[in-house]
Structure 1
Amino acid sequence: MARRKAAEGPQAVPPSEPAAEPNAVQKVCALLRALAGPGPRRLTDLAAETGLNKVTALRILDTLAQEGFVARGPDGRGWRPGTEFLALAARAGRPDDLRALARPSLVRLAELSGDTVLLSVRSGVEAVCVEREIGSYPIRANYLDIGSRRPLGVGAGALALLAWLPDREVEAILGIVAHRLDAYPRLGVAEIREAIAAARARGYVILLDRVVDTMGAIGVPVRDETGRTVAALSIAALSARLRERETLLAEALGREANLMERERVPARRQEPA
């Protein structure tokens, strides 16, 4: 009987197992979470925050950069979210620094024009609408929602993102998007090349009746401190309304783009490496 009670008594507790090593997806998610904070993050800080060693963290960051989800900061040392990350954040309604920076400009342009104002960024060979402000004019250009994508060159914002890239890069992109232009019979590769030349000559993009009948848009690039195009501001409206006010709207867009560029550069330079 004593032996039976002993057998039924408390059993020894096995030693706890070590925490499982995070899998590849969990490591990627950890880095993306760490990058969601403000400002470029150093590799050392990212590795410490995520518990990854620097070699593993750098390998993942390099792959994410190739896919557009992260990018190096302006000084080349820190890491920040890339355009694909930005597009996902926009679709989820999460604000980010570029959208927040653009909001006052979008509001002012919508008030001035009465029309739809768009902020677009590049994602590979596509343009992504990441923010929009609708003006008071009753006939609106509502064919682009936040998160909408188009091939680079299709639309004023998409063309502004493309037009001021180096010529070799432009040609490489056109070679890729050429087979995607069937849905836009009035805007083939030849027409895009012509529009690029015209945009470079005048300093802004204007496309009328090329993507949507009777509608058009006018747009300008927003550049970083190196002169590289990082976004585009555009106004979409009835073609007739754009023709009547082309100079006025082009100048207003240019002022707002310049303001965004001036406000963006000091903010980036003040961030720690």
Structure 2
Amino acid sequence: MDKPVSTPSTNATSAATAGAQSLRRALSLLRLLAEHQEDGITLTEVMAASGLERSTAHRLLSCLAEEQFAERDAASKSYRLGIDAMQLGFASMRRVPLVDNCKPLLQKLARMSGDTVFLVIRQGDYCLCLDREEGHFPVKVFTTDIGGRRLLGLGAGGLALMSRLSDAEIERIYDRHAEEYLHAHFTRECLLQAVRRTRALGYADITDTLTVGVSGVGCTFTASASTQAAISFGAISPRLPPERKKEMAKLLMEQVQPISNPVDREQPD
């Protein structure tokens, strides 16, 4: 018997959508394919990650492939997102409610700081850049493009997002991408230390993590019941000495608080 598939959207509201089990499983597989888009994921790996029996996983993947939401590499036998899934993703990027809601704040922060401001969300083991605003300082820092992804923990926004996860989940993410983290000079202990420091400070603080001479500050906010987002500053390191980092972090935390959507508030009787 198939085990329940655990996904960010599987929560107390599931009871209100009884009968949609197959749809929920298919959507969960799409998320799984997105997380492994670079290298692909085999049927066996899908079974292990989802808890689905072989016949169920194969049936759902075959249906997604027939509808061009997934594709299977004949040589490696691994699955990735298909053309139709990508087209949906591109279409959604044209008008993202979160981007619309945060755009005025990003512009304000870029104007106040003079530096580049990024809006990112978690996407599996990665953070996805949804928007970017340039400040007036002549030397621009474009460490990631809109629509670009990078591993959690490597940038200021991604480190802030990772700090919200449990140590056990961080360990699992590291195990899945150990080679990439080591390539960025992040040992397991180095990453965990950065996460602990972020939790203690209440914001992420990076210097020379991905690009020599570039620093950043970032903090998270709750975009919705299922989405954590982060806003970060990126600048050349001389513009972000320790004291200015603290100032920028304070500014960030003050400005994102009003747009955060608390999900644990008490419900009225």
- Tell me the TM-score range normalised by the shorter chain: 0.5 to 0.7
Contact 1:86–1:130 (Cα < 8 Å) also in 2: no
Identify the residue that residue 27 of structure 2 maps to in structure 1. 64
**1:242 Cα offset (Å):** 1.3
Q: CA deviation at 1:102?
A: 1.3
> Residue 163 and residue 88 in structure 1: after superposition, are their counterparts in 2 closer, same or farther (change >3 A)?
farther
User: For residues 208-259 of structure 1, what are the alpha-carbon distances to aligned partners after superposition, in whole Å with 9 as ceiling and x for unaligned?
Assistant: 0121000011000112576x76111100001121115112100111122212
- Offset of 1:62 from its aligned partner? 2.8
Aligned CA distance change for structure 1 residues 195 and 91 (closer, same or farther; 3 Å): farther
Aligned residue pair count: 201
CA distance 1:135–1:87, shift in 2 (3 Å): farther
Indicate whether 1:216 and 2:215 are aligned: yes
SS of residue matched to 2:212: coil
Please give the TM-score of this superposition, normalised by the length of structure 2.
Answer: 0.65
Q: Which residue matches 1:249?
A: 248
Unaligned stretches of 5+ residues in structure 1: 1-39, 45-53, 70-83
Displacement, 1:103? 0.9
1:26-65 to 2 correspondence within 5 Å?
55=19, 57-65=20-28
Structure 2 residues without counterparts, runs of 5 or longer: 1-12, 33-80
Distance in 2 of aligned mates of 1:179 and 1:97: 35
1:132 equivalent in alignment to 2:132: yes
When normalised by structure 1's length, the TM-score is: 0.64
Radius of gyration: which is bigger?
Answer: 1
Q: For the structure 1 residues 90 and 208, does the alpha-carbon distance in structure 2 shift closer, same or farther, using more than 3 Å as the test?
A: farther
**Quick check: 1:146 aligned with 2:146?**
yes
**Separation (CA, whole Å) in 2 of partners of 1:182 and 1:117:** 27
Q: Give runs of aligned pairs for residues 219-238 of structure 1, distance below 5 A.
A: 219-223=218-222, 230-238=228-236
Counterpart CA distance in 2 for 1:61 and 1:113 is 43
The aligned amino acid for 1:239 is S
Shift of 1:165: 1.1
CA separation of 1:91/1:107 partners in 2, compared to 1, >3 Å: closer, same or farther? farther
Q: 1:8 is matched with which residue?
A: none
The aligned runs of 1:150-229 (5 Å cut-off) are 150-185=150-185, 187-223=186-222
Q: Deviations over 1:61-107 (max 9, x none)?
A: 332135339xxxxxxxxxxxxxx989964686412121112112111
